[in-house]
Amino acid sequence: RSVSLDVTIRPFGLAHQSRSGTSRGMSTSPLHSNLVLPGVRCRAHIGLSEEERAEAQWVVVDLALSFTSPPAATHSDRIDDTVDYATLTATVVKVCTSRPYVLLERLAQALYSELRETLRAETGLWLEASKLRAPLAELEHGARFGLGDWQGGASVTSARRVAVRRN
C-alpha cells in the first residue's frame, strides 16, 4: 500500500499536505512581520515657552516598523540582514538633541523624516513621541503625538500605553 503526499514549497518554508488535503505546519498566507522598539528615551529642549525649552526634559519615542516579508535575518541571524536597533535609537537621540522644538508635532515630523531616510522604501514606519511632563496639571500622563506611513503601527504602540498605565 502506498500513500502519496503533495508537497508545496512556500517562500518562507516547507508546508505539506496531509492525506485529507489540508495544510499542516504552515499557513498558505504570506508572512508579514513587524519590529517594535518601545520606549526610546532621550532628553530634548521642547516646549511652548522659552522657559519650558530652557531645560531639557525626557521624551520617549515608540517605533513600529512593518515589513512586507520577514527580514532575511530570521534565517541568517546576521545584523546586516535586518534593521539595526542601534542605528534607529541613535537617530532618535540625534534628532531630539539637535535643536529646540516648540511642538511635539514638529519633533515627531523631524523624527519621521530622519528615520525614513534610514529605512528601505517598502518598510512601513509608525512612531509616537511622548512628552512625559506637560506644563498642565490636568495632563497626568503628559502628551503623545503619532504619525507614520503604517497605520497598523498605531495599534501596536497603543499596547505599550495600556501596559504603562497599569503599572
pLDDT tens-digit map of 31-47: 889 999 999 999 999 99
Average pLDDT, the chain: 81
What is the rounded CA–CA span in Å between residue 83 and residue 67?
10
pLDDT tops 60 at residue 73: yes
Three-state SS string over the chain comes to: CCCCCCEEEECCEEEEECCCCCEECCCCCCCCEEEEEEEEEEEECECCCHHHHHCCEEEEEEEEEEECCCCCHHHHCCHHHCCCHHHHHHHHHHHHHHCCECCHHHHHHHHHHHHHHHCCCCCEEEEEEEECCCCCCCCCCCEEEEEECCCHHHHHHHHHHHHHHHC
Mean pLDDT of 142-151: 89
Confidence of residue 17 (pLDDT cuts 50, 70, 90): very low
Confidence of residue 21 (pLDDT cuts 50, 70, 90): very low
pLDDT of residue 136: 84
**Cell numbers linked to 66:** 512593518
Provide φ and ψ at 130, rounded to 5°: -120, 130
pLDDT over 90 percentage in the chain: 60
Q: Which residues are catalytic?
A: 131
List pLDDT tens digits, range 84-139. Answer: 999 999 999 999 999 999 999 999 999 999 999 999 998 999 999 999 888 888 88
pLDDT of residue 11: 38
